[in-house]
Amino acid sequence: MPRNHSRLIDFIRILVSCGLGLGMAFAAVGQTAGSDAYLLESTQRWLESAVSGGRPSGAVALRMEVIVGALDSRLRLAPCAHIEPYMPAGTRLWGRTRLGLRCTEGVSKWNIFLPVTVKAHGPALIIKGNISSGAPLSLDDVMEAEVDWAEDPGAVVTDATSWIGQIASRPLTTGQALRQGMFRPPQVFQAGAQIRVLAQGTGFQITSDGQALSAGIVGQPVRVKMDNGRIMTGVVLDPRTVKIDI
């Protein structure tokens, strides 16, 4: 996930969980004809305030949209003088989620959950043609368009250096936003390949030959059989080199 995107989510979550600066106290609500509508409207305003006020400086320019779902029609809520919104544990104001509402001052205290959808519209790279699994990615495979960043849990990828030359980890289709998890580094050698082993420790560095016991992917661990028969694990540096720290 891009750093600014992560900061935005964390900031909003802290803001909501602490109730900072929002002074939220819904007026008295009971089971009257317009109470459900009032409760939903008040919740909508509170959420919009939380989302718009929680954007830190320098964050990706996203156009936030908050959609509050409907209350369960079977609910019968007792009158309440103070309703406190809160984020249930393990949830966040991003994508499809829920908001807790609890009565803290009333004849009968109650606690309900509202379905909420938070959308974050902004520029992103989308796939402009079907790509098969294992195919390399290039600039020709994408185009810029506005998408909902919060539609999928995978973080939107904007840094070209992180994905160009990588390969698709699954089939990708036209219109999908490019997200983390959709690509991976390419394989640079196969199991059984002869490779150069760079062994290094404090104050020394030794090179020798070895045989890869598994496929090599740059930046990933691989098992290597040394000339003396010893089996060690190192990290793939390039198509011919594996580094082992001793």
- Read out DSSP for 100-168? EEEEEEESS--EEEEEEEEEEEEEEEEE-S-B-TTPBP-GGGEEEEEEEGGGSSSPBP--GGGTTT-EE
* pLDDT digit string, tens, across residues 7-57: 333 433 433 333 333 334 444 444 444 455 666 777 777 787 777 655 544
Ranges 13-22, 150-159, 203-212: which has the least confidence = 13-22
Q: How far apart are CA 126 and CA 139, in angstroms?
A: 11
Are residues 216 and 197 in contact, defined by beta-carbon separation less than 8 angstroms? no
* Contacts (Cβ under 8 Å, ≥6 apart) of 5: 59, 60, 149, 155, 156
At residue 169 the predicted structure's pLDDT band, cuts being 50, 70 and 90, is very high
* Triad 36, 68, 157: Cα angle to 5°: 170
Interval 224-241 mean pLDDT: 91
